[in-house]
Structure 1
């Protein structure tokens, strides 16, 4: 039964579905790469995760952080626009975000009010600019822009004033310490003055980094603005790290920074993770690491949904590609079944090609049952390692792990099918099963058109299921056939007739 013609026809149909699915997958990957779909989808996911729809806040800072910028293509080439990373590991994300939150927390303890006021003034200024752009002839909106700009500059001036006072205090303390080299108290005062000056400088750099991010978000194709935002953020984080180095309660420091984030789901979620970390870990020195692990878990669970966005987009593209390819190649399932059923040579060649693909990809020693009565070669009992295809990764490392079932290489299948006369394609020969009939009003044409459209629709839906699905099914059906008894052979389990005496 397992070696029947029906099973061989099924193998032939599945092999053709697999070939077409692989071509669609390759085209889809080309489209995704051309439009940087993975990178853009990941960016939208991070912006949503960090509540930064305009890409001027946390999400922008994460992307400009060295841990993430280092995995972006052309990041080291100032002459080219940086290509968005397609993948982001949970460790890189959590470390970058933790560094940024720790920096903001260190500044929040002393200069949080000044920095928050300045950032809110920047936001109000941008909102006024957007409103004025929508109604350029409205004098009231133009006046609102001028007022917002004045408030914006006042907020920055307040920070600069504190920075100037801190610098003057530091210079005075440094001079006093230099005048009395052996005075420990004066040296200590100079160090404190230096820390204070570094702290306010870090706050100013953080504000400058945000303004650079706003400018970059308005002109995303301007490479210089993007580099300015990244460079300024790195300078701000360098100042803030030194300023926060002596903090004895890192998680408490992070919590202070979180309280000054804009209201929204990100702030709420991160504060919940802080409380969760405190319940799980009581030792203060281990809480920051535990919080980082909780950030990783939050990232992984969120990226699973972001991966779903990409998968749904892929399914739509695959459906359109499948429709185009199936119609162009006339891969009509009804016609294929008839042709493979009636052509023994074609059926045998498709089965052999399918077996070769399964054998080459899985590493299983498979031999098709011989029709001359010889025993098939036994399958290897050792399970070959699952091949790793390009673009796959563990779910912990990427939100786009996708379908991790084994998929054969397109070139392998194309090479295997190169010598086959595949029963697809349109023909102008009236005697050919793939003959294209010109439209006309007749019952005969209506019947042909109905079955043709029905067969093409089945093929489109089948091919859009994807290559991993069809290769899995092909492997099972081929192995099932190899375990059965070919026609004309006695069952291997049946006993031999006793010899007559």
Structure 2
């Protein structure tokens, strides 16, 4: 057998594999769409990412956290759906098919989970970008709310400590006043002014809790209130009285020490929690958590509930991972707000790495499915590799027709890398390929007198082997076979052979 003939046989075989691979790709894509493999795999990958391993991903807190993330408007906006009856009809048919096959998927699944994969929706996004996921996770972790709640607790403590210090200074003064002949009205005025100061401080904290003020404005107002109180104290005292003068000086010194500046007061009072402190709240045995639990007297308060809700909602591994990322972010952050932004970028990087690994797993699983589909298609189409080679090597007309069609296909695809443009239906109609369960094919494969059992012919081992080889070849994918077809065609053309010249030589 001459080399040009061998190349033509190879071209014909590769071209048939290409056509069957295109059909298999369409079948696999249809199954993946109906079964929502990509969306399900993405969600399961996120569950593993948040839980830390495969065994922990089915825990209720993990499922709840992932469902909450998927319920975030940012995630839901990705899952766009068409409107209108005719636009939604194909999607509704897909949903119906998915609902019908759900019991089968549950039976085949390892997880005993009874929930729908997407509890509130028929479908879900098959891709989520790292920035959208990180933003949704941080929103679900309620870090800004936790920061505000923790600042509330510290501001309340700051208020009480400052009022207690002022009260201590006044108590000492009033105790000395009682031993003198000074007017009781002065004592009443001092107590009344302190009562007003207490009220103003309490109102400032309440406004902060209601998000009417930020921490900077709250401290500024506390500073101004203490300024006003000290000015009123000075106006009420007698300048020549030594007791009042000493008390006023102590109040001024206390004011200067407590409020050297707004930012300084915030730092000295530890009012702005850093990112590491926030994350430490997740550990109930941590000193930060113990301090918060002691400081919050009302266990029914919104602040306490918010913190407890965060702690209970996170899987243990996720707490450790977030803590590690938060420590990294804290080293580079100058403020809590900047720390959250850096933490978000750290989460994005970790998510990207995890999804790359998950993508590799999906490709391996898809390859396994492709092999099964390939073998099934090879059997359904009776694509026996050995029979195909035999027909191409013995039937010159068939071989040249297949090669000619392969050349046409490559020329049409030269300006279009999209293999979906190849019309497989038209090719199958134009060429009688050596596949299918036709009588001629079966006779050539099984012989004139095949062995039958109950009217069904017994296939040979060579046919089974041929189907398996074809199945694995189909699973290689259409891009692989098209690329190989182009390379073999270049080798063939380099020898100056064309379908026309080859036909002329065979006729001679």
Report the TM-score when normalising by structure 2: 0.55
Q: CA deviation at 1:262?
A: 4.1
* Alignment map for 1:20-31 (pairs within 5 Å): 20-31=20-31
Change (3 A) 1:488 1:478: closer
Q: Quick one: distance in 2 between partners of 1:345 and 1:423?
A: 12
Normalized per residue, the structure richer in helix is 2
**Corresponding residue SS for 1:81:** coil
Kept after mapping to 2: 8 A contact 1:21/1:466:
yes
Which position in structure 2 is the counterpart of 1:423? Answer: 434
**Which of 255, 261, 269 is matched with 2:279 structurally?**
255
Q: CA deviation at 1:98?
A: 2.4
Q: CA deviation at 1:256?
A: 4.7
Q: Quick one: distance in 1 between partners of 2:488 and 2:370?
A: 24
Q: CA deviation at 1:348?
A: 2.3
**Corresponding residue SS for 1:4:** helix
Matched, 1:12 2:16: no
**Which of 390, 395, 399 is matched with 1:338 structurally?**
390
* Alignment map for 1:270-285 (pairs within 5 Å): 270-279=322-331, 281-284=332-335
**Which of 445, 448, 466 is matched with 1:455 structurally?**
466
Deviations 1:196-216 (A, max 9, x none): 2469xxxxxxxxxxxxxxxxx
Kept after mapping to 1: 8 A contact 2:386/2:463:
yes
Change (3 A) 1:462 1:109: same
Q: CA deviation at 1:335?
A: 0.8
Q: CA deviation at 1:353?
A: 2.3
Deviations 1:429-465 (A, max 9, x none): 4895355764269xxx99x813222222211121122
Give 5+ residue unaligned stretches, structure 1. Answer: 113-182, 200-246, 364-383, 388-406, 491-501
Q: Does 183-192 or 318-327 show the bigger shift?
A: 183-192
Q: CA deviation at 1:324?
A: 1.9
Which position in structure 2 is the counterpart of 1:235? Answer: none
* Alignment map for 1:283-302 (pairs within 5 Å): 283-284=334-335, 286-302=338-354
Which position in structure 2 is the counterpart of 1:48? Answer: 48
Which position in structure 1 is the counterpart of 2:412? Answer: 360
Q: Quick one: distance in 2 between partners of 1:326 and 1:489?
A: 31
Which position in structure 2 is the counterpart of 1:109? Answer: 150
**Which of 477, 480, 483 is matched with 1:469 structurally?**
480
Kept after mapping to 1: 8 A contact 2:378/2:470:
yes
Kept after mapping to 1: 8 A contact 2:374/2:475:
yes
Q: Quick one: distance in 2 between partners of 1:93 and 1:255?
A: 19
Give 5+ residue unaligned stretches, structure 2. Answer: 52-56, 85-91, 93-119, 154-195, 213-270, 284-310, 502-508
Deviations 1:237-277 (A, max 9, x none): xxxxxxxxxx9667447535655364532222222222233
Pair member with larger Rg? 2
Matched, 1:264 2:316: yes
Deviations 1:306-328 (A, max 9, x none): 22343333233322222221112
Change (3 A) 1:351 1:198: same
Matched, 1:485 2:506: no
* Alignment map for 1:184-333 (pairs within 5 Å): 190=203, 192-197=205-210, 251-252=275-276, 255-256=279-280, 259=283, 260=311, 262=314, 264-279=316-331, 281-284=332-335, 286-333=338-385
Which position in structure 2 is the counterpart of 1:439? Answer: 451
Aligned-CA RMSD value: 4.1
Q: Quick one: distance in 1 between partners of 2:414 and 2:334?
A: 50
Kept after mapping to 2: 8 A contact 1:109/1:256:
no
Matched, 1:85 2:125: yes
Change (3 A) 1:186 1:32: same
Which position in structure 2 is the counterpart of 1:96? Answer: 136
**Corresponding residue SS for 1:18:** helix
Q: CA deviation at 1:190?
A: 4.4
Which position in structure 1 is the counterpart of 2:69? Answer: 62
Change (3 A) 1:89 1:75: farther
Q: Quick one: distance in 2 between partners of 1:469 and 1:192?
A: 68
Q: Does 60-69 or 255-264 show the bigger shift?
A: 255-264
Q: CA deviation at 1:43?
A: 1.3
Change (3 A) 1:305 1:485: same
How many equivalent pairs are there? 327
Change (3 A) 1:429 1:291: same
Report the TM-score when normalising by structure 1: 0.56
Deviations 1:32-53 (A, max 9, x none): 2112221111111112211263
Q: CA deviation at 1:298?
A: 0.8
Kept after mapping to 2: 8 A contact 1:340/1:346:
yes
Q: Quick one: distance in 1 between partners of 2:434 and 2:50?
A: 53
Which position in structure 2 is the counterpart of 1:205? Answer: none
Q: CA deviation at 1:299?
A: 0.8
Kept after mapping to 2: 8 A contact 1:22/1:466:
yes
Which position in structure 2 is the counterpart of 1:72? Answer: 79
Kept after mapping to 2: 8 A contact 1:93/1:296:
yes
**Corresponding residue SS for 1:409:** helix
